[in-house]
Structure 1
Amino acid sequence: MFVKKMPTAGRISLYYAEAYRDPVTKKPKSRTLEFIGYLDELEKEYKDPITHFKEIAKNKSALSKKANMFSIGEINLNEEFDLNDDEQVNKNASFPTIDNSFSLGQLPLSVIYHELEIDKFITNRRKFWDLKANVESIFRLIVFGRILFPGSKYATWQIKDRLMLGSSSFSDDDIYRALSFFSEYEKDLIIHLNDRITKLYKRDTSLMFYDVTNYYWEIDNADNDTFTDTGEVEKPGLRKRGCSKEHRPEPIVQLGLFMDKDGLPVTYGLFPGNNPDCTTFIPMINETRENLGLNKMIYIADKGMMSGTNIANIIANKQGYIISDKVRKQKKDVYNFIFDESGYTIITKKMPSWKVFEENERTKILEPPQPYTGDMNAMEDVVVFKYKSRLTPQNEEVWKNFDMGSGKKVNIKANKKQIVFWSRDYDLRAKIDRANAIEKANKTGSVYNNHGANKYYTKGVYNIETGELYKNLKADRYLDANAIKEDEKYDGYYLIETNVVGTCPDEKPWTGEARFRNYDLLFELNRTVSDTDIIEMYRGLWKIEESFKITKSEFNTRPIYVRKEESIKAHFLSCFIALLITRIMEVKKLKDSKIDGSSIPYTKIISSLRSTNVIRMNDKNIFINSYYDAVLKEISKVMNINLGKKYYSKQELRSMNNATKDVEV
């Protein structure tokens, strides 16, 4: 601390000030702490006021430094934990446990949670329910717990004291009772979150990515449907056996997820496990329009959503779409368009010959790779990418009134743009995967099914002269070269269908970012749009696939132990918000942060938040920080939370936690 002189309206003001280093620029700066007085007035009281107050500043610095110094006294290295000490033992644990750790990782999460005003949303609705427990604290626990220490609701409740949830206490039964409350306001909370994100981060829903995954339950029997008096299905059961993404036999629930252009989750929906992926698309589209009020969107999805009914619904709502379609089993004219080499724009690049040779060797089937014997300095031109497109009218077969249950289909004609591209990277990956699968099937495969690479084997025993098939004999198998050749033909090819186009050079200017052209059913952006622009938009789907990976691998969303439908909905709501908070941290808060020149991925963010904990020292109200890294340093900087101190007092931790609730937006 020092005395600082500052001119003020022709007079000299004296202030106590301190030096510090700017956390962003790293440059030394100073800040005023306290006004002392005007120099001309102080000279009337003190012979040398500057020297006088410099001495006081020196003493203040010493006192401040001393106030931050604690002595933990002597340490008895033989001291042991006392599991009979009621003040130290965690009463929620399954057996006597002493846990002196507290999570610092909750603090950045709390900032985003309160920025989104989730606490206010829940508190404002609690008064309508006869719930004695603090449901807002419960919701914070299950959301933060899903990110920091994922587990069952009961397991999370057992270690709730690691989080600073306030003075209110609640039981594990209170958590399960609160799930019905959360489920009741699921849709309202999604709308609230969309409004907050739009205000805080200028949400961009011009591109809406959609995909479907499913989650399994470790139960034997699927949920039953409920029927009306006339025998019609009134409400289908939610947990049904269907096509599991993880190839599991248990009942599953389908989850459809929408994501915006920046990779932030927008909304989600739950569907019975036996619903095909494509049947979830229209209900979710309707929700984005009716509940969230979104418009002028381009829906982007993979070939699982490709159906005439889905396309027709998007067009009927005057929106855009970019959806991939299958390359195999196409109509003849589409097949000819794909494999006719004329019209392709070809991208090449020079590559070392040895690398091209080694990559090709990896694609060989049941043959050991050979060493490269050519010139190590040789280079060659290699085709790495090619694409072409056409605008064509197409007939689509759709369910009448978009109702699959109507049992009636009609044909409609609509203009669409077809873009086909081939990628060398995708081609190599497909060939290498096939070679590896065949090698595995060669060792462990069976003649009794066509699972996996077994489809490349021909099975059977017969007389080569008469053609008579022998029965009741052990069958042999051999590779079917024609089947492999037929499959290889499609490697690396992708087909995208869209109604999205750009402006033409001679087009009359118009206002707005996009418009639907009623005369040709195309969705026009107010800028030029190339084939590669459409391809890049489609490639954004990887982000939603990554989001599913986060929920399954990082958040342990499944297996799921709750069984009531309202509890299931509450479970997925908490997982959705955990994903949303994590994504906001990644793509908004840490958007400009770099470590070693690279952006910070979600895996490192989650890992660092889980690792940073403080541990109570002896019986003092002093805590020692057990972990710090470069990710936490960036989080501290952008979110104005000091996670880098070695020691914290109990009061300081409380103040830090309270500060996360008083965020300025």
Structure 2
Amino acid sequence: MLMRLSTSKSKNATSLYVIKDITIKNKRTTKIVEKLGTEAQLREKLNGQDPYEWAKKYISELNKKEKENKVEIIAKFSETKQIPMDSKVHFNGGYLFLQDIYYDLGLHKISKQISDKYKFSFDLNSILSRLIYTRMLNPSSKLSSFKASNDFIEQPNFELQHIYRALEIISKESDFIESTVYKNSLKLSKRNTKVLYYDCTNYFFETEKADGLKQYGLSKEHRPNPIVQMGLFMDGDGIPLAFSIFDGNKNEQPSLKPLEKRILSDFDLSKFVVCTDAGLASNTNRIFNNKNDRAFIVTQSLKKLKKHLKDWALAPNGWHLSNETKNINLENIDHSSNNKAIYYKERWINENELPQKLIVTYSPKYRAYQEYIRSTQIQRAEKLVKKPSSINKKKQNDPKRFIDSIHCTNEGEIAEKQVLTINRDTISDEEKYDGFYGVCTNLDDNAETIIKVNKRRWEIEESFRILKTEFKARPVYLSRDDRIKAHFTTCFLSLLIYRLLEKKLDEKYTTKELIETLKNHNFMELKGEGYIPTYTRTDITDELHDKFGFRTDTQIISNAKMKKILKQLNCIMKLN
């Protein structure tokens, strides 16, 4: 609103004011911007110049500066005037950077397509976007997410009941959302789909009741609660591609094929290499990716190889360094951790009528790491030997695997008490594999290239960590299968948007640094005027503003400027 001149007459004088109309909670009111003085004071100050003509020129200049965002805003506060009851003035603006990516991915258009299909009245775009933003900035239950959405500059236009109704729709349209977002992402940047990484993890529930998707299975976090499992495909640059949710008590190996078939049909992809860990490297999955233009790279457990292949893999002869053909015998090298070289050997094998290349690496540094880890586990095992009551089922990488239980004396008689001892044979057997690592593939590329591709599997493991730690995707508080599926759809979209944010910032910052910066990117609202930043300006906030093309780091952002920013970000909601 433009500023204008107003006068107030009293018994002794006429005062001149600069006023403007403002809107607070959809009600228009008038605010005094500046008191210019009485008519007499201004005539004296202006040496007889007409105070009204001067005031009009002065206000015209103020309006010009405001249009150029150069006006200085003056605020008055009173120590005696109470703040209005239930008045909220503190808001988060960090979500605006996420919103820019959200709209670039066309999620607002996807929401409209779904809304037109089902003819519901609530704003799906508003709900979906808030579920995504709160998952990243204030992860919690759906009820808490609803409350947290009031912390954003733009207020929600939906009720809690609408969130639960929206979850049903999101679940039904999850595959459509996923494939459409992928196609829209191609407009932002080229996706590296030459290599696709696949892995699985599971998430526990708050409840102990098992039904539907939530079933008792092998929890990766050793929780005594039902779990649900997630399969995730990631592209060669670490950007999430597709996901699936399946029962917590099912084997994860069969989960690969259905999701990959969906990628083949819905994503218009056909030529790629699938890279998985040993747990998903079943012969069925390898054969499935030995067709057409697809290939596989899988981690190979050396312990599970046939004896003649195991002997070949561990033999000291036949090794070479990268880009060298000279044969090296491992007995003649430095095995200390100071030797950071990686040694290779490879051969073609035919397992279950499937030709594939077996690549084995040996690293003295990796050997030293494994020796260190085992030594700490042996120390723990030795302590456990003194506490027989704490010995239960032995698991992989559990120190208890080194412990044997003896029930007989040396004379073969039944012992009065169970005797625990450290099994040195188990330790010696494990030591044979220290420093060695195996990979199988049907590609004919050189060993170094294959190993380099396989090493990037850490990014999908990091994605799971982000979902579980920063985004708090578990415990899951929902019970219905459709709502569970929708929950993980929003988690997947949050991860996708976060990874794109990382790429936009050239992967300079840690997850914690980025999320904390967005979470603390707060403002205090000056009613009728604008927003005062209360966050700390840092290199990260500067780069965010530079990369996204708008700034909120001036001393105050007027309502007009904030509306312009929201319009720039394709925002369709209005400021109160």
Shorter-normalised TM-score: what interval?
Answer: 0.7 to 0.9
Question: Where do residues 232-243 of structure 1 align in structure 2 (5 Å cutoff)?
Answer: 237-243=212-218
Q: Shift of the alpha carbon at 1:282?
A: 1.3
Q: Shift of the alpha carbon at 1:191?
A: 1.2
Does 2:527 align with 1:579? no
Mark the CA change 1:436 to 1:75 in structure 2 (over 3 Å): closer, same or farther: farther
| Equivalent position SS for 1:441 | helix
Does 2:434 align with 1:491? yes
Contiguous gaps of at least 5 residues in structure 1: 1-55, 89-98, 224-236, 348-355, 361-380, 397-412, 502-528, 594-598
Contiguous gaps of at least 5 residues in structure 2: 1-56, 323-333
Counterpart-to-counterpart distance in 2, 1:80 and 1:428: 67
Does 2:171 align with 1:180? no
Counterpart-to-counterpart distance in 2, 1:75 and 1:630: 35
Question: Where do residues 505-584 of structure 1 align in structure 2 (5 Å cutoff)?
Answer: 529-584=445-500
Contact 1:137–1:165 (CA under 8 A) maintained in structure 2:
no
Question: Where do residues 347-362 of structure 1 align in structure 2 (5 Å cutoff)?
Answer: none
Q: Shift of the alpha carbon at 1:481?
A: 2.1
Q: Shift of the alpha carbon at 1:621?
A: 3.9
Which moved further from structure 2: 611-620 or 483-492?
611-620
Counterpart-to-counterpart distance in 1, 2:429 and 2:107: 54
Deviations 1:293-328 (A, max 9, x none): 211100000001111111111123541100011111
Which position in structure 2 is the counterpart of 1:259? 234
Q: Shift of the alpha carbon at 1:60?
A: 6.0
Contact 2:210–2:216 (CA under 8 A) maintained in structure 1:
yes
Which position in structure 2 is the counterpart of 1:64? 65
TM-score by structure 2 length?
0.81
Question: Where do residues 179-578 of structure 1 align in structure 2 (5 Å cutoff)?
Answer: 179-223=167-211, 237-346=212-321, 382=339, 384-394=341-351, 396=352, 413-444=353-384, 446-447=387-388, 448-451=391-394, 452-464=398-410, 466-470=411-415, 473-501=416-444, 529-578=445-494
Which position in structure 2 is the counterpart of 1:365? none
One-letter identity of the residue aligned with 2:148? I
One-letter identity of the residue aligned with 2:345? K
Which position in structure 2 is the counterpart of 1:625? 534
Q: Shift of the alpha carbon at 1:559?
A: 0.7
Counterpart-to-counterpart distance in 2, 1:260 and 1:620: 46
Contact 1:613–1:627 (CA under 8 A) maintained in structure 2:
no
One-letter identity of the residue aligned with 1:557? A
Which of residues 542, 549, 552 is equivalent to 1:643?
552
Which position in structure 2 is the counterpart of 1:590? 505
Does 2:142 align with 1:153? yes
One-letter identity of the residue aligned with 1:175? I
What is the RMSD computed on CA atoms of the aligned residues?
A: 2.6
Q: Shift of the alpha carbon at 1:100?
A: 2.2
Q: Shift of the alpha carbon at 1:617?
A: 4.2
Counterpart-to-counterpart distance in 1, 2:374 and 2:552: 48
Which position in structure 2 is the counterpart of 1:634? 543
Contact 2:216–2:249 (CA under 8 A) maintained in structure 1:
yes
Which moved further from structure 2: 136-145 or 604-613?
604-613
| Equivalent position SS for 1:261 | coil
Counterpart-to-counterpart distance in 1, 2:531 and 2:255: 53
Deviations 1:41-91 (A, max 9, x none): xxxxxxxxxxxxxxx9xx969962895211212441x66555xx25x2xxx
Q: How many residues align?
A: 496
Counterpart-to-counterpart distance in 2, 1:489 and 1:322: 24
Which of residues 111, 114, 117 is equivalent to 1:122?
111
Q: Shift of the alpha carbon at 1:476?
A: 3.3
| Equivalent position SS for 1:494 | strand
Counterpart-to-counterpart distance in 2, 1:159 and 1:415: 55
Counterpart-to-counterpart distance in 2, 1:332 and 1:269: 37
Mark the CA change 1:67 to 1:335 in structure 2 (over 3 Å): closer, same or farther: closer
Q: Shift of the alpha carbon at 1:178?
A: 1.1
One-letter identity of the residue aligned with 2:454? Y
| Equivalent position SS for 2:361 | strand
Counterpart-to-counterpart distance in 1, 2:216 and 2:360: 35
Contact 2:138–2:148 (CA under 8 A) maintained in structure 1:
no
Mark the CA change 1:286 to 1:622 in structure 2 (over 3 Å): closer, same or farther: closer
Deviations 1:257-290 (A, max 9, x none): 0001111100001111111121111112211112
Mark the CA change 1:121 to 1:463 in structure 2 (over 3 Å): closer, same or farther: closer
| Equivalent position SS for 1:151 | coil
Counterpart-to-counterpart distance in 2, 1:655 and 1:174: 29
Contact 1:346–1:383 (CA under 8 A) maintained in structure 2:
no
| Equivalent position SS for 1:382 | coil
Q: Shift of the alpha carbon at 1:623?
A: 2.5
Counterpart-to-counterpart distance in 2, 1:334 and 1:81: 78
Deviations 1:546-571 (A, max 9, x none): 10011000100011111111111111
One-letter identity of the residue aligned with 1:426? Y
Contact 1:460–1:469 (CA under 8 A) maintained in structure 2:
no
Mark the CA change 1:624 to 1:318 in structure 2 (over 3 Å): closer, same or farther: closer
Contact 1:390–1:419 (CA under 8 A) maintained in structure 2:
yes
Counterpart-to-counterpart distance in 1, 2:279 and 2:511: 27
Counterpart-to-counterpart distance in 2, 1:444 and 1:645: 61
One-letter identity of the residue aligned with 1:71? I
Contact 2:533–2:552 (CA under 8 A) maintained in structure 1:
no
Which position in structure 1 is the counterpart of 2:22? none
Contact 1:391–1:416 (CA under 8 A) maintained in structure 2:
yes
Q: Shift of the alpha carbon at 1:206?
A: 0.6
One-letter identity of the residue aligned with 1:479? I
Does 2:513 align with 1:604? yes
Q: Shift of the alpha carbon at 1:653?
A: 2.1
Mark the CA change 1:462 to 1:184 in structure 2 (over 3 Å): closer, same or farther: closer
Q: Shift of the alpha carbon at 1:659?
A: 1.1
Counterpart-to-counterpart distance in 2, 1:115 and 1:620: 30
Contact 2:203–2:227 (CA under 8 A) maintained in structure 1:
yes
One-letter identity of the residue aligned with 1:387? Y
Mark the CA change 1:343 to 1:117 in structure 2 (over 3 Å): closer, same or farther: same
Contact 1:583–1:602 (CA under 8 A) maintained in structure 2:
no
Mark the CA change 1:639 to 1:618 in structure 2 (over 3 Å): closer, same or farther: closer
Mark the CA change 1:62 to 1:275 in structure 2 (over 3 Å): closer, same or farther: closer
Deviations 1:502-557 (A, max 9, x none): xxxxxxxxxxxxxxxxxxxxxxxxxxx32110000000100100100110001000
Counterpart-to-counterpart distance in 2, 1:124 and 1:308: 41
